[in-house]
Amino acid sequence: MAEKWKGPLERLDDNRWVIPRTYKQGMRTDGIIYAGKDMIEAVLADQAPEQVTNVACLPGIVGRSMAMPDIHWGYGFPIGGVAAFDRAEGVISPGGVGFDINCGVRLVRTELSGDEVQPRLKELVNALFRDVPSGLGSEGRQVFSQRDLTKVLTEGARSLIKRGYGWKEDTTYLEEGGAMAGADPAEVSEKAMKRGREQVGTLGSGNHFLEVEVVEEIFHPDIARSFGLFEGQVVVMIHTGSRGFGHQVCTDSLRLMQSAMKKYGISVPDKQLACAPLSSDEGKAYFAAMACAANFAWANRQLITHRVRESFETVFGSSAEKLGMHILYDVAHNIAKLERHRVTGKELDVCVHRKGATRAFAAGHPALPEAYRAVGQPVLIPGDMGTGSYILVGTQRAMEETFGSTCHGAGRVLSRSQADKQSRGRDIVAELQEKGITVMAKSRSTLREEMTEAYKSVKAVVETVEQSGISLRVASTRPMGVVKG
C-alpha cells in the first residue's frame, strides 16, 4: 500500500488546496491541488502531492505547480499535473508530458437517437471491434512506408485526409488543426519509426477505448446547441494516443535529457523530472520529436474515425454524411504547448506542460474554431466504462488561473495490478450487461483493470472543476457499447 503524503496543506476554499513553497527547499513557487473536500483524502493517499512540489522546483516555472482533481501518481509529474515555463528561461521535461504523447479524446456526433441504435447495438459493437484493431501491440490494416510515415509525423491528421480517410472539415475541429507545428522527423529514432509503421489506426490497450454513448443530460442548452448536441443523441468517443511510437520517443528523449542536465548544471529533486532548457539544442530536439508523436496520435485518431464511420455505414445502411457523423472536437491530454498567457499582469510566452490535463480555452480565443469562438472550447472528459462521460466548456477563469487547463478524466484510485487482484472471480462483462452496456475486449484482464472501482467518481471530478470555475458542464453521456483493448 502506498504511503500517505503528510506534507503541509492549506485550504484556500472548498475546492483548492495550497502546498506552500516553504515546505521544501528548492521550491520556486507554491503548489495547488484542485479537489473537493470529499476528495482530498484520496488525493493524499499516495505521494502524488510530493510530485506537485517537485515540479515547483524546476527552473523557469511561472505561476503555480498545479494538479487537477483527477490527480494520481505518475512518472515525474503527477497525472493531472499542469505547469508553465518561461519560453526563454524555462525548461521542457518529458516527464511533464508522459510516455503516451498526445493520448487524447475525440468525440464524433451522429443524428441517431439511442432508441434507433439500441436494436442494432450488438451488431454495431461487433463491427467496431472488427474494424478498429485493439489490444496490446495491435497492428493496423496497412503498414506505412517510411515516406508516408514521415508525412504523418509532419502533417498529422491532414496526411490521412489527403489519402481519403476523412472529410476536409475534420481538421477544423481538432486541437492544433490536427498538426502541431515544429515537428521534425529527423529527431526521431529508427526504432520509434519502426514501431509506428504498423500502428496507425489502432486503439491499443489499457484505458484506451471506443465508446458508443447517448447524451443523457444537457446543462447549458445554448452551448450544447452550438456544439450540435441534444438529449438522446448517440455520439462516439475515441480515446487513444501515439501508441508505441510515442512511448519510444519519450524513452529516447529521457536518455538525452539525463546528459543535458549535467551539461547545463540543472539539479532536480527526482531524476524522472530530467529536463533541458527549452532554448537548448536538447530542448528543441525533444520538442520536435514530441510534436511528431503528437501528430502521429492525431493521425491515429483520424484513421480510427474513418473506420468508425465505415462501421456505422455498414450497420445502418446509410452514408456517414447522412448519419451526421461530424467531429465535435479532439483534445490532447499529454502534451507540451507553446502558448501566450497573461501572468501577473504581463503577457508571457510560455511552454505549458499538461500531463493528464486538458486545454480549456475561453470564448474569444483565436485558436478556437469559428463555430465555438462565441462560447468557448469543448472539453471532453471520459469517465470509466461503467458510468459515463462529460462534455465541458473552457472559461475565462481557466485562462487567468490554470493557463487555460482543466481535468482530463476520472483518475485512478487503484493501480492496474490492484484492480486486477480485487476483481478476480468477477464477470465484468456480465456486470456491464446488467447495466445495459455491451462490451467487447481483446483481454478479460483489461476489463478487470479498468473496472469502475479502479477510478474516482468522474461526476465528483467534474463538479470540482465547475465549482472552481475553470470549466462548465455542458452535457453528460452514458455508455451503450464499449470496445476495449
pLDDT digits (tens, 9 = 90+) for 165-182: 999 999 999 999 999 999
pLDDT reading at 329 higher than 70? yes
pLDDT digits (tens, 9 = 90+) for 61-115: 999 999 999 999 999 999 999 999 999 999 999 999 999 999 999 999 999 999 9
Q: How confident is the model at residue 295 (pLDDT cuts 50, 70, 90)?
A: very high
Which pLDDT belongs to residue 419?
A: 77
Question: What average pLDDT does this structure show over 416-431?
Answer: 81
Assign 145 to helix, strand or coil.
coil
Dihedral angle computed from the Cα positions of residues 458, 464, 467 and 472, in that order, rounded to the nearest 10 degrees: -40
Residue 392 in grid coordinates = 465541458
d(CA 308, CA 240): 14
Which pLDDT belongs to residue 354?
A: 98
pLDDT reading at 431 higher than 90? no
Q: Which amino acid is at 475?
A: A
Which pLDDT belongs to residue 397?
A: 98
Which pLDDT belongs to residue 137?
A: 65
Which pLDDT belongs to residue 422?
A: 80
pLDDT reading at 136 higher than 70? no
d(CA 359, CA 365): 12
Dihedral angle computed from the Cα positions of residues 247, 297, 398 and 49, in that order, rounded to the nearest 10 degrees: -20
pLDDT reading at 338 higher than 90? yes
d(CA 393, CA 385): 22
Which of 61, 42, 128 is closest to 315 using CA atoms? 128
- Are the beta carbons of 220 and 60 closer than 8 angstroms? no
Pick 244 or 417 by higher pLDDT: 244
- 203-212, 271-280, 384-393, 436-445: least confidently modelled range: 436-445
10-484, CATH topology level: tRNA-splicing ligase RtcB (3.90.1860)
Which pLDDT belongs to residue 40?
A: 93
Which pLDDT belongs to residue 447?
A: 81
Which pLDDT belongs to residue 187?
A: 98
In 3-state terms the chain splits into helix, strand, coil percentages (rounded to 5) of: 40, 25, 35
pLDDT reading at 60 higher than 70? yes
pLDDT reading at 262 higher than 90? yes
Verify whether residue 72 is a known catalytic residue: no
pLDDT reading at 278 higher than 60? yes
Percent of the chain with pLDDT over 70: 98
> Which of the following is catalytic: 72, 247, 333, 408?
408
Q: Which residues pair with 379 in a beta bridge?
A: 392
Which pLDDT belongs to residue 135?
A: 67
Question: What average pLDDT does this structure show over 295-313?
Answer: 98
Pick 485 or 362 by higher pLDDT: 362
**The Cα angle at residue 45 between residues 42 and 51, in degrees rounded to 5:** 105
Q: How confident is the model at residue 140 (pLDDT cuts 50, 70, 90)?
A: low
pLDDT reading at 1 higher than 60? no
| Residues 183-186: contacts with CB under 8 Å, at least 24 apart | 183/153, 183/154, 183/288, 183/291, 183/292, 183/294, 183/295, 184/288, 184/289, 184/291, 184/292, 185/150, 185/153, 185/154, 185/292, 186/288
Phi, psi (rounded to 5 degrees) for 267? -115, 135
Task: Quote the radius of gyration of the chain (alpha carbons, Å).
Answer: 21
pLDDT digits (tens, 9 = 90+) for 27-46: 999 999 999 988 999 999 99
Look up the pTM and report it.
Answer: 0.95
Which pLDDT belongs to residue 448?
A: 79
Report residue 4 CA to chain centroid gap: 27
Which pLDDT belongs to residue 132?
A: 93
Which pLDDT belongs to residue 194?
A: 94
Which pLDDT belongs to residue 446?
A: 80
Which pLDDT belongs to residue 428?
A: 85
Residue 139, Ramachandran bin (φ over 0: left; ψ between -120 and 50: alpha; else beta)? beta
Please provide the size of the chain in residues.
485
Spatial neighbors of 258 by CB under 8 A, at least 6 apart, are: 271, 274
Q: How confident is the model at residue 142 (pLDDT cuts 50, 70, 90)?
A: confident
Q: How confident is the model at residue 332 (pLDDT cuts 50, 70, 90)?
A: very high
pLDDT reading at 457 higher than 90? no
d(CA 255, CA 465): 36
What residue spans define the domains of the chain? 10-484
d(CA 164, CA 176): 20
Q: End-to-end distance of the chain based on CA atoms, in angstroms? A: 27
Please spell the DSSP secondary structure of 231-276, one letter per residue.
TTEEEEEEEE--HHHHHHHHHHHHHHHHHHHHHHT---SSGGG--E
- 231-245, 340-354, 419-433: least confidently modelled range: 419-433
Assign 294 to helix, strand or coil.
helix
- 110-119, 368-377, 443-452: least confidently modelled range: 443-452
Which pLDDT belongs to residue 138?
A: 64
Percent of the chain with pLDDT over 90: 84
Which pLDDT belongs to residue 139?
A: 63
Pick 49 or 435 by higher pLDDT: 49
pLDDT digits (tens, 9 = 90+) for 378-393: 999 999 878 899 999 9
pLDDT digits (tens, 9 = 90+) for 305-315: 999 999 999 99
